[in-house]
Amino acid sequence: MKVAIFGLGYVGFTAMCCIASEGHSVIGFDVSGQKVDKINRGVAPFSEPGIQELLTEVKDAGRVSAFTDIGDRLADVDLAIVCVGTPSAPDGSHNMSYIAEVSRQIAQAVDPNRSSPLTIAYRSTVRPGTVTGLVEPIFRSELGDEVFDRTIELVYNPEFLREAAAIKDYFEPPKIIIGTRDGKPSANMDKLNANIKAPVFYVGYGESEITKFVDNTWHAVKVAYANEIGRVCMQLGISAAKTHEIFISDTKLNISPYYTRPGGAFGGSCLPKDVRALQYISGDCGAGTYLIDSLLRSNDAHKFRLYEMTTKGLKAGAKVLLVGLAFKANTDDLRESPNIDLARNLLKDGYDLSIFDPAVDATKLVGANLGYAYTQLPALQNLLVSKEIAETQQYDRIIVANPTIKQLNLAEGQDIVDLNALA
């Protein structure tokens, strides 16, 4: 198949490389000329284990190319995948402007005389009703009903990639959700997923659109719940680690141990955004989701408590090393990282801060990641230190924010506070 991908951020670029590695021809589109140029030069636009090697492989095979303009490049495309951003609006809803704009651009580029329908699969996180209430009307307006019905197949296909494990998750997803108008299979989506073994659910648009909210909010619930229990245990002098061990031993009723452990606050580009969006949706429809409404407050409270823990006993102006800045190890994604909040508070209170995170290169950040980083930490480039400096400098306290600490050979007797070891 020939596949087009719109939006070459984390989800789109990962999909581009993975799909091309299966022998498909893939063209990608992005508004960022810098990102497009990097990909065409064979340079991955972000840090992710294995992604640079995969890009090199598919570039050498001549199966990928990137562009800023669509032109007539959709003429022989079988499947288009939309992966543009849907950032949070001030009220918590998703900003749908990028979805609307890319839909118009695709519609305007469609040949009305196509011999076979173009399948357009949306992977961007959107509220239920988006395909039928926003996307389809745009296509019908641009193409007319007759041409739309004959040339376009709309699909909603949420992704379940975890940063630092994206390639593995692409080929080994927990499930495949494909939303179609009538809930029936799509031939092109079946071709795309032919080599992927996972449970497949063909459903209507609404069920497929809400799945990502349900999943990510549940993950947020697990993280917040475990952290609240961890704080209670600490206050009572009870071992949170042993309590956690007992809790997760029940795999019959307690479901999964993955997120249900006390540690750092949740963050990243998905969980906070999707919790806010589900809050908005539930308020909009009058569902009254009180637990969900409390999640972000609980997470903020946990951030504050962690800051108190990290600075307890520290004198003003103390020299601090923060190990790990991205929201998780082995990725350079800084968006809504709780470690960014921690760094900002350390600076605000006058501590002499240095940061070690081998995955984060301030000169290579792009797109929303770049914007978020420098909005929140304008001095980021000056705060980052090398492995050699982190290992040889003397610090009053070392704060471990993610497992990046394993890459350092620190002298014994260091004053270390590990945010992921609440016990």
Same domain, yes or no: 6 and 88? yes
Same domain, yes or no: 199 and 242? no
Answer yes or no: are the C-beta atoms of 8 and 45 closer than 8 Å: yes
Q: Is residue 217 part of a domain?
A: yes
Same domain, yes or no: 92 and 133? yes
Residue 257's pLDDT band (cuts 50, 70, 90):
low
Same domain, yes or no: 235 and 379? no
Cα 88 off chain centre by: 13
What does the pLDDT look like over 102-116, one tens digit per residue? 999 999 999 999 999
Question: In angstroms, rounded to a whole number, what is the distance separating the alpha carbons of residues 42 and 55?
Answer: 6
Question: In angstroms, rounded to a whole number, what is the distance separating the alpha carbons of residues 124 and 96?
Answer: 10
Instruction: List Cα–Cα distances, 93 to 50, 221, 365, in angstroms.
Output: 34, 19, 26
Same domain, yes or no: 340 and 299? no
Q: Which 3 state secondary structure label does DSSP give 121? A: strand
- End of a domain among 163, 180, 203? 203
Question: In angstroms, rounded to a whole number, what is the distance separating the alpha carbons of residues 78 and 62?
Answer: 18
Which long-range contacts does 379-382 make (Cβ < 8 Å, 24+ apart)?
379/347, 380/355
Q: Which 3 state secondary structure label does DSSP give 119? A: strand
Same domain, yes or no: 49 and 170? yes
Q: Is residue 423 part of a domain?
A: no
Same domain, yes or no: 322 and 296? no
Q: Is residue 363 part of a domain?
A: yes
Query: Structure pTM?
Result: 0.83
Q: Is residue 19 part of a domain?
A: yes
- End of a domain among 152, 179, 203? 203
What does the pLDDT look like over 202-215, one tens digit per residue? 999 999 999 999 89
Tokens of 223: 């993280």
- pLDDT number for residue 226: 85
Catalytic residue of the set 17, 18, 233, 270: 270
State the residue range of the domain holding 332: 313-418
Same domain, yes or no: 199 and 227? no
Same domain, yes or no: 30 and 134? yes
Tokens of 60: 């050498």
Answer yes or no: are the C-beta atoms of 10 and 163 closer than 8 Å: yes
Q: Which amino acid is at 247?
A: F
Answer yes or no: are the C-beta atoms of 127 and 212 closer than 8 Å: no
Q: What φ, ψ does residue 4 adopt, rounded to 5°?
A: -115, 140
Paired sense of beta strands 200-203 and 176-179, if any? parallel
What CATH number is associated with residue 52?
3.40.50.720
Kindly report which listed range (98-112, 184-198, 272-286, 394-408) carries the lowest average pLDDT score. Answer: 272-286
Q: Which of 122, 115, 108, 34 shows the shortest CA–CA distance to 73?
A: 108
What CATH number is associated with residue 275?
1.10.1040.10
Same domain, yes or no: 301 and 318? no
Q: Is residue 301 part of a domain?
A: yes
Same domain, yes or no: 340 and 399? yes
Residue 256's pLDDT band (cuts 50, 70, 90):
low
Answer yes or no: are the C-beta atoms of 18 and 54 closer than 8 Å: yes
Q: Which of 244, 240, 268, 274 shows the shortest CA–CA distance to 256?
A: 244
Cα 404 off chain centre by: 19
What does the pLDDT look like over 242-253, one tens digit per residue? 988 998 888 776
Q: Is residue 125 part of a domain?
A: yes
Instruction: List Cα–Cα distances, 207 to 127, 132, 133, 212, 316, in angstroms.
Output: 11, 13, 15, 10, 53
Q: Which of 267, 347, 354 shows the shortest CA–CA distance to 307?
A: 347
| Mean of pLDDT values over 388-393 | 96
Asked if 233 is an active-site residue, the reply is no
- End of a domain among 272, 305, 338? 305
Percent of the chain with pLDDT over 90: 79
User: Domain tally for the chain?
Assistant: 3
| Mean of pLDDT values over 27-53 | 97
Same domain, yes or no: 18 and 84? yes
Residue 151 has pLDDT above 70, yes or no: yes
Q: Which of 163, 157, 152, 153 shows the shortest CA–CA distance to 193?
A: 157
Q: Which 3 state secondary structure label does DSSP give 127? A: coil
Sheet holding 200-203, edge to edge: 64-67, 25-29, 2-6, 79-82, 118-122, 152-156, 176-179, 200-203
Kindly report which listed range (133-137, 211-215, 269-273) carries the lowest average pLDDT score. Answer: 269-273
Q: Is residue 208 part of a domain?
A: no
Question: In angstroms, rounded to a whole number, what is the distance separating the alpha carbons of residues 413 and 82?
Answer: 51
Tokens of 295: 């999640």
